Amino acid sequence: MISAEVEIVAQFYELDPMQVVWHGNYAKFLERARCALLDKIGYNYPEMNQSGFLWPIVDMQIKYVRPIRYAQAILVLATLVEYENRLKISYRCHDKITGEVLTKAHTTQVAVDAATGELCLESPAFLIDKIRSFL
């Protein structure tokens, strides 16, 4: 499948009182990797908007394996695992130096017709064709 990876360095303002990255900030890390993946496909938020479809996230699951600490460099890998009926993306956050898995996650997005607000049971054909051109 198609993957993209981003590097993130944990910043002081992302920490909680226990001196680890606050759990709510992980969604930001996933979003950065997801955007890199969508850029690679050529269907990021501006292209979604132009296509007439909205892609809300309807499910996000995160497994916190090990904490991320201040100034720790991590690599966040986003991989497209489903695309015909929804966009399901899996994520792995790894320590850049050791390769240790820190976080596992996935998000699910569904197509919604922007004009009608109706949920689409299949991804738009042009997106399926675009993704298949990478495979």
Contact 107, 83 (CB under 8 A): no
- When the pLDDT of each residue in the chain is averaged and rounded to a whole number, the result is 96
If one counts every other C-beta atom within 10 angstroms of the C-beta of residue 96, the result is 13
Q: pTM score, two decimals?
A: 0.94
- Order of strands, sheet of 3-9, starting from the edge strand that comes earlier in the sequence: 3-9, 73-82, 87-95, 101-109, 57-64
* DSSP state, residue 120: P
Q: Determine the average pLDDT of the residues in 106-133.
A: 95
pLDDT of res. 120: 96
* Full set of structural domains in the chain with CATH: 3-132 (3.10.129.10)
pLDDT at 6 over 90: yes
Whole-number percent of the chain with pLDDT over 70:
100
Instruction: For residue 36, give the H/E element and its range.
Output: helix 26-41
9-66 confidence digits (pLDDT tens)? 999 999 999 999 999 999 999 999 999 999 999 999 999 989 999 999 999 999 999 9
